[in-house]
Structure 1
Amino acid sequence: MNVLSRAVHRPAKDPVHPQVLPWRGVQRREWIVLAIMPTLLLAGMNSTFTDLARPFVVNELSSDRYRYQWVPGCTLLGSVAGMSLIAWARNHFGLKKAYITGLILFMFGSLACGLAPNMELLGGARFVQGWGNGMVVTTVLAVFWREFPDHRDGAIAAYVLGLYFGRIVAPSVSGYLMNLPTWRTIFFFMVPITSTCTVLTSHLLQPDEPREEALEPFDFEGLLLLLGWVVCLMFGLFRFQKWGWWTANEFWIVSTIGGGLFVWFLLHEWFCPHPLLDLRLFGRLRFALSVVIKALADLTFFSVISVLVRYMAVTRDYERVTTGMVLLPAVVTMASTLALTAWLGTRSDRKLRLILGLTGMVVGTWTLSSIDLYTDKFWTAVYTALWSASAGLVASPLICISQEDMSPAEVASSAGIKNLMLVLPAFVGGNLLTIFIERRSDAHFDAMRQSVTSNRPPLDDVRRDVVDYFMLNGLDVSDATGQARRLLASYTHDYATVFAYQSAFQILAVTLALAIPLAFLLRPLPADATGPQRG
C-alpha cells in the first residue's frame, strides 16, 4: 500500500498536513476548492432568490406578502439549525460526512421548493433547504481551514469570494431564470449542480471519522432554546410594525418570551458540559472582538447590497439583468483585493489589512449616500466597486484572526458561531432597514406633498407639459390629466424613497465605524506561536 493509500484509509481525525493527489498537474486540495466553489455560489444566491421572486410566487400560490414573510423566515430557521450542528456533527461523523449530508439536504430541499403547490409546503421545503445550506457553508469553513494549514488567508479568501459573489450576482441569475416559463426554475437549476458537487467532493475529501469511543450527547435543550428565541425574533420583525412598537400587548408578550429564552440559552450554553455552541470561546478577547467586528461588517455588506438592488430594480425600474451588470464591477474589485490578500498577505499584517478595509468600507458606504434619482448607472457602478474593493480586505484576515491558535474542535464550533453571527445580524438589520426606509420615505413624501401648492407656476407648467405629452399620444384631456397626476405623484414618492436610501447608507456607515476602534484592540499572536507565518 503506498503512502497515499495509508493516508486515506487511516482513521485520522482532522489531519494537519493532508496528503495530496496530483491529477493533471493540480493537487487534490485545489480540486477540492474547485468542487466546493459552486456550492458556495449557490449558498450566496439562495438567500436572495426568494426575495426577488416574491411577486411571482405570491401571484401563483394565491397568497399575500404577509404570509410570504414566513418563507424567508423558515429559510433563516433552517440555516440557524444547520449552522449550530457543525461541532456535534464533526465530533460524531467527521467533516466530510457533515458536508455531504448538508449537500443532500440542500439538493432535496431545492427540489421540494420547485414542486411546492402552496405557501405552507414552500416554507417547509425552504426550512429543509436552509438546514442543508447552513451545514454546507459552516462545514466548508472548517474544511478549508484544515486543508490549507500553510496558506489560510488564500483559502478563506476563496470561501468569502464564493459566498459574497453569489449574493452579488443573484439579481442577474434570478432575472434570467424567472424569464423562463416558471419561477420554479430558480430552484430546479440547483439540483444538478448540487448533485454533481456531492459526487465530486465525496471522492476528493479525506475521511475523518472521529476515534473517540465515548461521544458527548446531543444538546437538545440548547437547540430548542436557540430556535425558540429566533422564532420570537422573527415574530417581532414581521409583526411589531403591524401590532405597534411599545404600545401593543403582543409586543411585550413576544419580547418577554424571546428575551427570556435568549438569556436561558446563553446561560445553558455557557455552563453545559457538552454545549451545542461553545460560547465559552467568547472568553477569549481576540475571538469576541473578531466576532463583533465581523457581525458589523456583514450587516453593512448585506444591507448595502440589499438597498442597492432595491434602488435599481424597484425605484429606478432597471431590468434585473441590468442591475446585475451594474454590480458586476464590484465582483471584479472584490475578487482582486481577495486575490492580493491570498498572494501577499501574511499573519503579521492581518490587523493592518483589516483596519484599512474597514476604513474604506465606511468611506465607501458614506459615498453611496450621494446616489440620487438621477445618478447614472456608470457612477453607481464606480461607487459600488470602490466600496466592494475595501470589503474584500476585511473578511479573510478577520476570520483568520478569530481562529488563530485554535484546536480543530474549537475551529468547528467557532465556524458555527461566526456563521450564525452572519445570518442573524443580516436578517435583523435587513428587516429593520426595510422598516426604516418605509417610514423615512413616507415622512419625506408627506413633507414634499405639503410643500407643493397647486397654483404655483412651476408645478402648473410641468403638469401642462405632461398632459400635452399624453394627449399627443392619443389620450383625451380627462385621461391625460389623470395620468399626469399619477405620474407626478409616483415621481414625488420615488424622490422621497431615494432620500430614505441616502439616510440608510449614512446610518450603515456610522454603524460600521464602531468596528474600527474594536479592530485596534485586537492583539496579534506572539511571534513564537504555533502555525505558519505565511498567510
Structure 2
Amino acid sequence: MTTRLEPAPIPSNDPIAPDVRVWHGIPRRDLVVVAILPTLLLAGMTSTFTDLARPFVVNELSSDRYRYQWVLACTLLGSVTGMSLIAWMRNRIGLKNSYVIGLIIFTLGSLACATAPNMELLGVTRFVQGWGNGMVVTTVLAVFWREFPDHRDAAIAAYVLGLYFGRIVAPSVSAYLINLPSWRSIFYFNVPIAAISVVLTSHLLQADEPRERVRARFDFEGLVLLLGWVLCLMLGLFRFQKWGWYTSNDFWLVTAMGLALFVSFVVHEFVCHHPLLDLRLFAIPRFTLSVAIKALADLCFFTVVSVLVRYMAVTRDYERVTTGLVLLPAVAAMGTTLALTAWLGTRDDRKARLVVGLIGMSLGTWYLSSLDLYTDKFWTALITAAWAAAAGLVASPLICISQEEMTPDQIASSAGIKNLMLVLPAFVGNNLLGIFIERRGDSHFDAMRQSFVPNRPPLEDVRLNLVDYFTLQGLGPADAAAQAVRLLTRFTHDYATVFAFQSAFQILALIMMLAVVLACCLKPLPPQATGPRRG
C-alpha cells in the first residue's frame, strides 16, 4: 500500500524551511536528490555534448564552423538569460515552480534541437534549451542549500557531482551516442530523462510561496544591458582576430560598445530597487573572494577538459570511444573525492580542502603540459585522473564558504551570480585559449619549417623511407612522393599544435596559482557563527 506524502507544518517565520516528510521510511529530501541528480548530469553534459559532434553537425546541415560559432553563442545567451532570472522568479512563483518550468523548457528545447533542419533553427532551439538549462542549474543550487541545512557539504557535493561530473563524462557518453544513427541522438537522449524528472520533482519538491506579497516589476533594462554586453563579448571573441584586432575600426567600435554596456549594467543594478542581479553582495569580502576563485577554477576546469578532448580526438586522432575511455578514470577520481568531501568534510576544514584542491589542480595542469605526440594513453588517463581528483576537492567547500551566513534572498541572488561566473569565464577562456593555440601553433609550425634546411639529411632519410613504404603499397613514384610530403607536413603541424597545447596548460597552471593565493586570503568563519559544524 502506498504511503501518501503528508506535508509537514512550515514555521510562519520561515516559509521555505525544509519539511521532513517521508515515503516508506525514506526522507523526502533524499528522494529529491535522486530525482534531480540525473537532470544535473544532463545539464553538465549538454554544455560539452556537441564538442565531438561538431563536424557531423556542420556536414549534415551544409554549414561551416563560423556559422556554428553562432549556435554556441545562442546557447550562451540562453543560459545567461535563464541564470539571471532566479531572484525574480523565486519571488514571483517560488523555487519549485521555477525549477519545473526551467526543466520543461529544457526538455522542449532538446526535442526541438534534435529535429532542427538547418543551422539557423538549431541556433534558435539551442537558445531555448540553454534558457531552460540556466534556470535548472541555478535553481537547484538554492534548492539544495535550503533542503540540507544540516548537511550542506554533502548537498553541494551532490550539486557539483551532477554539474561538473557531467562535463567530464560528456565525451564518453557523446562518443557512444554519435555512433548511433545520427548526431541528433545527443539531444534525443535528454528528452525522456528530463521528462521523467519533471514528473518526479513536481510531486517531491515542496511548494514554496512567493517571497513578496507586492510583486516587483521585472528588471527588463538590466537584462537588455547584460545580454547586450555578452553579445559584444561574443562578437569580439569570434571576429577580433579576423578583423586584425586593434588595427580595425570595428574592433574599437565593438570594444567601446561593450565597455559602455557593462558599465551601464553595473550602475543600473546598483541604483535599481529590484535589480536583476544583486551586485551589492560583492560588498561581502568572503563572497567576492569566493566568486573570483570560482571563476578562475571554472576557467581552468572547463578549458582543460576542452583542450584534452581536442588533443585526443583531433591531434592524436583517437577514436571517439577511446577519447571517452581515457577520461573515465578522471570521472571515477572526481566522484571519489566528492564522496569523501560529503562524508568527512566539516565547516572548519573547508578552507584547507579548498587550498589543497587548488594546489593539486595547479600541479596537475602543469604536469599536463608534458603531453606530446608520443604520450601513452595510460599516462594521459593517470595524469587527468589525478587532476580531476584535486578538482573534486574545490567546488563544494568554495560554494559553501561563499554562501555561509546569507539570507534566503541573498542565496537566490548569489546562485545566479555564481553560475554566470561559471559560464562566462569558461566561454571566454575557451575562446581565448583557442585563439592562442592557433596562433602559437602556426608560429611554431613556421619556425619548424624554416629549420628544415640545417636538418635536411635526417629529414630526407625519413622522406625517402616514407616514399619506399607508399611505393610498396602500390602508389606510383609521383603519388608516393606527394603522400610522403603530406604526411610529414601533417606530423609537423600536429607537433606544433601539441607545443601550443603545452603552453596553454602552463598558462592555466599559473592562473590556478593565482587562485591559490586568493584562497589563502579567505577568512574562516568565527567559532560562534550560526549553522552546522558538520558538513
If the TM-score is normalised by the length of the shorter chain, which range does it land in?
over 0.9
The 2-side partners of 1:313 and 1:142 are apart by: 37
Gaps of 5+ in 2: none
1:271 counterpart = 2:248: no
Residue matched to 1:248: 248
**In 2, Cα distance between the equivalents of 1:250 and 1:455?**
44
The amino acid that maps onto 2:421 is: M
Task: For 2:318, give the aligned amino acid.
Answer: Y
Q: Quote how far apart the aligned CAs of 1:216 are.
A: 1.5
Task: Map 1:41-440; keep pairs closer than 5 Å.
Answer: 41-210=41-210, 212-440=212-440
Corresponding residue of 1:523: 523
* Contact 2:437 2:501 survives alignment (8 Å): yes
Deviation readout 1:211-239 (Å, 9 max, x if unpaired): 53212211111000000100000100010
Change (3 A) 1:211 1:155: closer
Partner of 1:472: 472
- In 1, are the aligned partners of 2:287 and 2:402 still within 8 Å (CA)? yes
SS in 2 for 1:7: coil
CA distance in 2, matches of 1:322, 1:4: 46
2:6 corresponds in structure 1 to 5
Question: How far, CA to CA, are the matches of 1:519 and 1:309 in structure 2?
Answer: 29
Q: What displacement does 1:526 show?
A: 1.5
Deviation at 1:78, TM superposition (A): 0.2
Query: In structure 1, the residue corresponding to 2:63 is in which secondary structure?
Result: coil
Change (3 A) 1:87 1:13: farther
CA contact (8 A) 1:11 1:209 kept: no
Q: Hey, what's the Cα distance between the residues in 2 that align with 1:476 and 1:521?
A: 68
Shift of 1:287: 0.2
Contact preservation (8 Å) 1:43, 1:166: yes
> Contact 2:82–2:130 (CA<8 Å) still a contact in 1?
yes
1:11 deviation in Å?
A: 8.4
In 1, the alpha carbon distance for the partners of 2:237 and 2:355 equals 32
The residue matched to 1:499 in structure 2 has which SS? Answer: helix
CA contact (8 A) 1:4 1:19 kept: no
Question: Using a 3 Å threshold, how does the CA distance of structure 1 residues 53 and 4 change in structure 2: closer, same or farther?
Answer: closer
Count residues in correspondence.
Answer: 533
Shift of 1:509: 0.4
Distance of aligned partners of 1:267 and 1:254 in 2 relative to their CA distance in 1, 3 Å threshold: same
Q: Distance in 1 between matches of 2:4 and 2:113?
A: 45
Change (3 A) 1:12 1:61: farther
Cα distance, 1:476 vs structure 2: 1.2
Whether the 8 Å contact between 1:8 and 1:207 is mirrored in structure 2 is no
Alignment-mate amino acid for residue 150 of structure 1: D
Asked whether the 8 Å contact 1:228–1:258 carries over to 2, the reply is yes
Q: For the Cα contact (< 8 Å) 1:219–1:274, is it kept in 2?
A: yes
- Residue equivalent to 1:502: 502
Distance 1:497 1:230 in 2: 29
Question: Structure 1 residues 192 and 226 mapped into 2: Cα distance closer, same or farther (>3 Å)?
Answer: same
Q: How far, CA to CA, are the matches of 2:450 and 2:494 in structure 1?
A: 16
Residue by residue over 1:289-322, the C-alpha shift from the partner in whole angstroms, topping out at 9 and shown as x without a partner, is 0000000000000011011000000000111111
Q: Give the TM-score normalised by the residue count of structure 2.
A: 0.97
8 Å contact kept, 1:11–1:210: no
Q: Conserved in 2, the CA contact under 8 Å of 1:316 and 1:373?
A: yes
Supply the AA of the counterpart residue of 2:19.
P
**Separation (CA, whole Å) in 1 of partners of 2:14 and 2:189:** 35
Q: Measure the CA separation in 2 of the matches of 1:398 and 1:355.
A: 10
Q: CA deviation at 1:164?
A: 1.5
Partner AA of 2:467 in structure 1: V
Q: What's the CA shift for 1:461?
A: 1.1
- CA distance change for structure 1 residues 49 and 433 in 2, over 3 Å: closer, same or farther? same
What letter corresponds to residue 341 of structure 1 in structure 2?
Answer: T
Give the Cα–Cα distance (whole angstroms) in 2 for the partners of residues 9 and 3 of structure 1: 18
Give yes or no for contact 1:358–1:394 (8 Å, CA) kept in 2.
yes
- Counterpart of 1:423 in structure 2: which amino acid? V
CA root-mean-square deviation: 1.6
Structure 1: any 5+ residue segments left out of the alignment? none
Return the alpha-carbon distance in structure 2 between the equivalents of residues 329 and 445 of structure 1. Answer: 33
Do the aligned partners of 1:157 and 1:396 also contact (CA within 8 Å) in 2? Answer: yes
CA gap 1:249/1:195 in 2 versus in 1, 3 angstroms:
same
Identity of aligned residues (%): 72
AA of the residue aligned to 1:182: S
Give the deviation of 1:428 after TM superposition: 0.2
- Say if 1:6 and 1:384 are closer, same or farther in 2 by CA, change over 3 A: closer
8 Å contact kept, 1:13–1:210: no
